[in-house]
Structure 1
Amino acid sequence: MITLAALDIAGTTIDEGGAVYRVLAEVVAEHGTPAGDAEIRHWMGADKRAALAALTGDPHAVEALHARFAERLRAAYAEHPPTPVPGVPEALERLREAGVRVVLTTGFDHAVTDPLLRSVGWRVGDHLDGVVCAEDVAEGRPAPHMIHHAMRLTGVTDPAQVLAAGDTVLDIKAGLAAGVGVVAGVLTGAQTAGELQAAGATHILNGVHDLPTLTGSGTMRARR
């Protein structure tokens, strides 16, 4: 039985038009270390500070680069406001009505995440049971720490009762590392079904809106 759904934000529950990776690529290029598409894709879903350090090879500049990234991303969101992925608000409501707690996890920090969630009208307590950012834990994806923190927030102790879903390979790897019962890859982001399946996803779904199809009277079981 699934009692917790740990869901990624950008590309999974919120459509922000891929701005995060465009801005990340811009900031890295301006630093003088342009990254190719494959390099950027490798860091999709990761802690953005870790991504900036790896992509630029300049750990000493990470805080300045991250500040620039966050400022640019907020400006991009102001110009083109993010929206919930179609069907997601209804899916979250159905999950919570079935007794499944919902926690969002993200490689963003709170300076980006909190206004992003406010912009779509989502609040902890009313629409969500918690939010975990990469800065809240020792290490972001593919480490399992954000999922484990979501479990602590909601009092869930058995990883077999947890569903993790995301649109990136790192989301899948984090779910597997956490030993959760269901690791679902969703196709609303930038990575393909083949990439997510190869990473070890137990389910491939068109989107989070399909998660309630795996439930029955509040239960959800993995099909391996």
Structure 2
Amino acid sequence: MTIELVVLDMAGTTVEEHGAVYEALAEAVTAAGGRPTEADIQRWMGASKREAITRLLAESTGQDPDEATVDAAFADFRARLDKAYRDRPPAPLPGVPEALGRIRAAGVKVALTTGFDREVTTALLATLGWRVAPGAAPAAPVDAADGMDGMDGMVIDAAICVDDVPTGRPAPYMIFRAMEVTGVWDVARVAVAGDTVRDLQAGTNAGARLVAGVLTGKLDAVGLGAERHTHLLPGVADLPDLLGL
């Protein structure tokens, strides 16, 4: 059965942001009174960042933080992340624009999903120079060069963030929302790839035909491979060959 939609995580999967999101998360939670370990932070990779802050603070203090505390910590996280991105701008991981260009040239849709909110997602896409193709109807095949011009030419079909769904990963809702936006009806025609356990869990929970872990994030083949998956790949750059494109 032909794959019609590829759903990809952003940070660590398609975008190299040098671990800034997790450093900012750890610093913001610590500043709010939490005591997260590296293992604690890794456990919340791929989740909604507000949810991660809430749960990390609860785990540290033994009680749920109030809304004002979470709001302040989340604002601190975003400020730290914004500074980190200004000091060291994110960039596409090697081979990603070329890979996504090949995928879209074959008529397969590409959607990005992220645990960031809409404001951060929009700013990140702008920094990368990536743009969302207009319209939600099925897109005709495009010239591969349109996805191979580096940061200036990358085109995707949808960018779904945690604001768009009732619950973030490992719930499958961002994948379902990507299907809705791109006009893909059959989850058996969807491929999902990501660098975190929650990415793989979301793909499995959605019932995607292909759920691939990529080793461009913090987890190695042992850590990521322990989660249910269909494939493990060095990176998204290897996805077109896997799909036979």
Q: TM-score range by the shorter chain?
A: over 0.9
Once residues 231 and 66 of structure 2 are traced to their aligned partners in structure 1, the CA distance between those partners, rounded to angstroms, is 36
Once residues 17 and 55 of structure 2 are traced to their aligned partners in structure 1, the CA distance between those partners, rounded to angstroms, is 24
Match of 1:194 in 2: 222
State how many pairs are aligned.
Answer: 217
The Cα shift of 1:194 comes to 1.5
Once residues 228 and 92 of structure 2 are traced to their aligned partners in structure 1, the CA distance between those partners, rounded to angstroms, is 26
Match of 1:128 in 2: 156
Match of 2:92 in 1: 84
Q: Where has structure 1 moved over 2 Å in runs of 4 or more?
A: none
The Cα shift of 1:215 comes to 2.4
User: 2:179 pairs with 151, 166, 185, which one?
Assistant: 151
Match of 1:49 in 2: 50
Match of 2:236 in 1: 208
Once residues 136 and 70 of structure 1 are traced to their aligned partners in structure 2, the CA distance between those partners, rounded to angstroms, is 18
Match of 1:222 in 2: none
Q: Percent identity?
A: 53
**Mind listing any 5+ residue stretches in structure 2 that lack a counterpart?**
59-64, 134-153
Q: Deviations over 1:185-210 (max 9, x none)?
A: 00000112122221111100000000
**Mind listing any 5+ residue stretches in structure 1 that lack a counterpart?**
218-224
Once residues 215 and 48 of structure 1 are traced to their aligned partners in structure 2, the CA distance between those partners, rounded to angstroms, is 31
Match of 1:137 in 2: 165
* CA RMSD, Structure 1 to Structure 2 (Å): 1.0
The answer to whether the aligner puts 1:25 opposite 2:26 as a matched pair is yes
TM-score, normalised to structure 2's length?
Answer: 0.87
The answer to whether the aligner puts 1:10 opposite 2:11 as a matched pair is yes
Q: Which amino acid aligns with 1:164?
A: V
TM-score, normalised to structure 1's length?
Answer: 0.95
Q: Deviations over 1:119-172 (max 9, x none)?
A: 111000160000000111000000000000000001111111000100000000
CA contact (8 A) 1:70 1:111 kept: no
User: 2:202 pairs with 171, 174, 177, which one?
Assistant: 174
The Cα shift of 1:216 comes to 2.8
Once residues 158 and 87 of structure 1 are traced to their aligned partners in structure 2, the CA distance between those partners, rounded to angstroms, is 28
Q: Give the SS at the match of 1:103.
A: strand
